[in-house]
Structure 1
């Protein structure tokens, strides 16, 4: 069998194993349950508010947007956290030491992060279908839109997470990225339509994937009459594909270069140095 295909199959199996293990690890389970539960509770309190003059529930609109935000968080933050943690514990160094090890490692990350992303979406979507009125998620077109936005969103955001993860050798420092990411959420029309924000903020929000993932999910789950609160009164599917596709292409070109450079810097001595610093912080 082709060595490359063998590596890809091995990496995929590794990803499936890691995904299954997530359901037997308290930290991973809490990481799925607590944020999603908080989001649902917040949106329940928003049900009484309406979107502009449409009379449509702001909670229902936000539910759709939050699904897009969840994809972005999974792609960027989860990949970044996995990468920084596994640099410190030596997983990356072991992968580097075997033929095509980094390829297998990356395939495994793609599998596990994609699977966890789907689980996270379902944890919000399934209760949302019962708790929020007005969702239009009952046609083949809605499901197809949901799927292509999800797939393209992961392709666009996971390389970003890999690049960000390569910047931090200490998992505790990677938490600093949460602040700018939350800032992007605030200006990406997730909880308030972008059209209700200052004119100067709207172009900035549209640069990044979070806005387009939220828009794509809204187009899949909301009735067509809600398009009136969007920019240009359009779901802008072609623009969504274009922007997410551009981020995906940039990430696919840049991430392998950055990861190769990071892998070259990994050695037994650098790993020992990081572990010594970690021990000093805990004593």
Structure 2
């Protein structure tokens, strides 16, 4: 594939991603579902506003905001991308993309664009009122938000390629439980919603292997005041380690994703799509 062909496919993918994103935020049903979910999350945060982070005088609600943002990146990056790939493979969308010149590249760029914009929009919708209603968030102003941006960018890069790998390996949508159950377990030991120091030392070590812990830590370091660091391991934000671990997961995902996606695309055919539809009809 020439550089000009790659560029054309990427531009097509970006346009497709922008169209899909615009549809999500202009379609009444999709918009209602997203706003209801964000409203429920924000309501839960408000209930925690009167409690305090252990060892500090800082609001537990304020301390939980970064964890909610980090968890959203992980869940959307992993299960969101994986679920979309499975659905598009089952209904023939992926096969149609494969049949067009450089269509797979355009398809992937489009999905990355859509999910990135959706994630950024969700963060903005949640974070703007949180900055108004919760004391102590983003204490350094513009610098805190710039810090948040690099953590967000790394989080997207570290999770979306892995989501594409997972979606390529699963045969159908019924297997998404194999993704959601481990993610629920990782959430429980990641300390993304509460200090990981409350867990046994061996569980802390396991949680720190995965990007969810480091995304939560990076979000907290960008949005919380310095006094909140007392609840962290070693009472440190560990920014170099956050950068290194998220980069390592990003490199792993970007190395595996193209290989796995190419193998998956080669197996796609009209007969395989028809067989999936037949299995789906039998389940109904």
Alignment counterpart, residue 180 of structure 1, candidates 174, 179, 182: 182
Written as runs of structure 1 = structure 2, the 5 A alignment for 1:119-268 is 119-268=121-270
Cα deviation for residue 57 of structure 1 reads 1.2
How far apart in 2 are the matches of 1:210 and 1:201? 14
Q: What secondary structure does 2:201 align onto?
A: coil
- Structure 1's unaligned 5+ residue stretches are none
Question: Which region of structure 1 is more displaced relative to structure 2, 69-78 or 41-50?
Answer: 41-50
Q: Is the 8 A contact 1:84 1:168 kept in 2?
A: yes
2:66 corresponding residue in structure 1? 64
* 1:137/1:143 contact within 8 Å kept: no
Checking the alignment, whether the CA contact within 8 Å between 2:211 and 2:249 is kept in structure 1 is yes
Contact 1:15–1:107 (CA under 8 A) maintained in structure 2:
yes
Q: Report SS of the residue matched to 1:48.
A: coil
Q: 2:42 & 2:181 partners in 1: Cα distance?
A: 21
Indicate the RMSD between aligned Cα atoms, in angstroms: 1.6
| Structure 2: segments with no counterpart, 5+ residues | none
Give the corresponding residue for 2:10: 8
| Alpha carbons 2:55, 2:231 under 8 Å: kept | no
Q: What SS does the aligned partner of 2:265 have?
A: helix
**Normalized against structure 1, the TM-score is what?**
0.95
| Preserved CA contact (<8 Å) 1:87 1:169 | no
Q: Which residue does 1:38 correspond to in 2?
A: 40
Q: Return the alpha-carbon distance in structure 2 between the equivalents of residues 57 and 33 of structure 1.
A: 25
Quick one: structure 1 residues 31 and 172, their matched pair in 2 at CA, closer, same or farther if it must change by over 3 Å? farther
User: Contact (CA 8 Å) 1:12, 1:107: kept in 2 or not?
Assistant: yes
The 2-side partners of 1:31 and 1:271 are apart by 29
Q: Which residue of 1 is the match for residue 272 of structure 2?
A: 270
Moved over 6 A (4+): none
User: 2:67, 2:220 within 8 Å by CA — same for their partners in 1?
Assistant: yes
The alignment covers a number of residue pairs equal to: 282
Shift of 1:137: 4.5
Measured after TM superposition, the shift of residue 27 of structure 1 is 4.9
Tell me the TM-score normalised to structure 2 length: 0.94
How far is the alpha carbon of 1:53 from its aligned partner? 2.0
CA–CA distance in structure 1, aligned partners of residues 226 and 149 of structure 2? 18
Deviations 1:94-143 (A, max 9, x none): 11112211111111011000000001111221221223222135523211
Shift of 1:173: 2.8
Q: Give the deviation of 1:147 after TM superposition.
A: 0.5
